[in-house]
Amino acid sequence: MKFLVLIYDNPASREVFLSLPAERRAAGLAAYRALDEELDATGEKIVSSPLAYPEHTVQVRVADGATMTTDGPFAEVKEQLAGFYLLECDSQQRAVEIAAKVPEASFGVVEVRPLMDLSAFEG
Amino acid sequence: MTRSSGELDGLLRELAPQVLAAVVRHHGGFDECEDAVQEALLAASQQWPRNGVPDNPRAWLITVASRRRTETWRSDTARRRREEAFRPEAAPVPDTDDTLTLLVLCCHPSLTRASQVALTLRAVGGLTTAEIARAYLVPEATIAQRISRAKARIRGVAFAASPDAVGAVLQVLYLIFNEGYTAGSGEALHRVELTAEAIRLARLLRRTLPEDGEVAGLLALMLLTDARRPARTLADGSLVPLEEQDRTRWDTVMIAEGTSLITTTLARAPIGPYQLQAVIAAVHAEAGRAQDTDWAQILALYDLLASLTPGPMVTLNRAVAVAMVHGPSAGLAELDGVDLGGHHRVDAVRAHLLERAGDLDAARAAYRLAARGTSSLPERHYLESRARRL
């Protein structure tokens, strides 16, 4: 089963992180390295990446065949997508266990979303 | 002896896991052995069409791969300046088929399911990482990494073909089969045939363990299930439940083989859960029309299965059989004891039974609840359509 772990943060939580002493920030990054290493060893990670800051967002709309772009994220969005893990694991329970190891789970928001499954048993 | 290139490919593919197992068993080092076997296979594919297939092709491959493995070992060791300390010998060519030991190694309990599956398809199935990646809809780099980390993890673990180890192999083969069997028709288009591969591996395993009732049981179960595949979806990909399938589209050759296999196995082996599930599939297969199904026999088989391996899924399937024999309200009463943590299959079965009982409002609500509970798109469409047509 595949799951997408979505990691959100917000301007306030980023400020908090950047104002932390260097060793606390290093501990956060070390937690990510440890998580990546664990998931590579078990084969459960398909791909993961942090995202560039939200101000680099480009919104794209197509109307009447014309492509229109707007710079920056939706202003009203409080929590912004900061990174993701695409996982393949045996159960949702396991995906939640992995999500709990993401540092943002302690101060931001972490979501687990199953991918749309196209397989099925009959009847 | 001359052979067509297709026959030669088939022969090499069949021998590859046996050769790999023999070389790994003797020399250790999964990665290096695999490279050596690849070189031996390449040499065979070049030399055999020209010079003919040797009398004992397996021994030829083991000898060549073993020599390659030793040469690599020597050059590695030379780099470490320990060359003169040891003179490795070529692996002896064993009389026995080592496929089982290789399967057991690939399904080692220290590996995650995903890694067991990838390693089994690579090392025993002989699929390329690209083929495995396409089959599981993940990037090739992910599969390559998964396989190399899995090999690193099992480096140095002991071969032991215990009953537990064989059980783990059966689980992995069944998982591969189900991945292929339940794949949506659209996504299956460019995927290697995982059901065919699982059946091939089960046949391979059965050759090494011909007396094992559960190995035969799993193979029979796969054959009898796969026989229904042409009838289980419509052209648009929508699901057809068992009782509504066009049974003339079932594969009669597979049914005949599966039925005969499970019949002879039951007569001589101790009973087990795969065999029981295969018998249940055989009872469904022998009914020309859904209404001819011998539900009393199926219920008796589920009773036996529930006593052998009790669990919520068995209780759930048994409840359906109870409903078919004793009426829908008896089946619904059985469902009350099932705890699947809010799993949508419980709601789906409850909906079916409520529909049969004529409680259409409750059935509609249960179908909708089940539809919301599944992450599978075809199942969701199916359950919503059942709710709509009430």
Joined tokens for residue B94: 């064993």
Partners of residue A122 in chain B, C-beta under 8 Å: 228, 232-233, 239-242, 245
A66-91 pLDDT, tens digit per residue, is: 999 999 887 777 889 999 999 999 89
* Cβ-based contacts of A119 with chain B (< 8 Å): 179, 182-184, 187, 376, 378
Residue A89: list chain B partners with CB under 8 A.
Answer: 112, 114
A interface residues, B as partner, C-beta within 8 Å: 2, 40-47, 88-90, 114-123
- Can you give the pLDDT at residue A93? 94
**Cα(A22)–Cα(B166) distance, rounded to whole angstroms?**
52
* Domain ranges, ordered by start, for chain B: 5-82, 96-154+163-209
Asked whether the predicted pLDDT for residue B128 surpasses 80, the reply is yes
> CA nearest B294: which of B281, B307, B284, B303?
B284
Q: CATH number of A2-116: 3.30.70.270, 1.10.3720.10, 3.30.70.1060, 3.50.50.60?
A: 3.30.70.1060
Residues of A in contact with B111 (CB under 8 A): 43
CB contact under 8 A, B150 and A43: yes
Which pLDDT score is estimated for B86?
47
B11 pLDDT above the threshold of 70: yes
Domain spans of chain A? 2-116
Contact B115 A43 (CB under 8 A): yes
For the residues of B270-331, what is the DSSP string, one character each?
Answer: ---HHHHHHHHHHHHHH-SSGGG--HHHHHHHHHHHHHHS--HHHHHHHHHHHHHHH-HHHH
Q: Is the confidence at residue B81, as pLDDT, over 60?
A: no
What average pLDDT does range A15-26 have in this prediction? 86
> Using 50, 70 and 90 to split pLDDT, how confident is the model at B88?
very low
Are the Cβ atoms of A121 and B245 closer than 8 angstroms? Answer: no
A116 and B377: CB-CB below 8 Å? yes
Lowest mean pLDDT, pick from A53-62, B54-63, B123-132, B230-239: B230-239
Residue B228's contacts (CB-CB under 8 Å, 6 or more residues apart) are A122, B242, B245, B250, B251, B285
Q: What is the pLDDT of residue B79?
A: 61
Q: What tens digit of pLDDT does each residue of B270-317 get?
A: 999 999 999 999 999 999 999 999 999 999 999 999 999 998 889 999
Q: Quick one: tokens of B131? A: 């083929």
What is the spatial distance between Cα A8 and Cα B77, in angstroms, rounded to a whole number? Answer: 50
Token pair for B252? 């009669």
Of B119, B19, B118, which Cα lies nearest the Cα of B69? B19
Strand A66-71 with A2-9, pairing: unpaired
Sign of the alpha-carbon dihedral angle for B379, B382, B388, B390: negative
Cβ contact B377–A118 (<8 Å): yes
How close A44 gets to chain B, by Cα (Å)? Answer: 7
Cβ contacts of A116 on chain B, cutoff 8 Å: 375, 377
Residue of A nearest to B113 (CA): A90
Residue A11 has a pLDDT of 84
Question: Which residues in chain B are closer than 8 Å to A49, comparing Cβ atoms?
Answer: none
The 10s digit of each residue's pLDDT in B159-174 is 666 778 899 999 999 9
Helix (H, G, I), strand (E, B) or coil at B157: coil
Instruction: Write down the pLDDT at residue B169.
Output: 95
Q: Provide the pLDDT for residue A101.
A: 95
What's the rounded mean pLDDT across residues A18-35? 89
**Are A119 and B179 in contact (CB < 8 Å)?**
yes
Phi, psi angles (nearest 5°) of residue B107: -105, 30
Which of A40, A42, A118 best probes binding to B when mutated, by most B CB atoms within 10 angstroms? A118
State the smallest CA–CA distance between residue B304 and chain A in angstroms: 23
| Check: complex ipTM more than 0.85 | no
- pLDDT at residue B77 in the model: 66
Interval A46-68 mean pLDDT: 92
Chain B residue numbers touching A117 (CB-CB < 8 A):
374-377
Picking from B139, B187, B245, the nearest residue to A46 by CB comes out as B139
**Does residue B352 carry a pLDDT above 90?**
yes
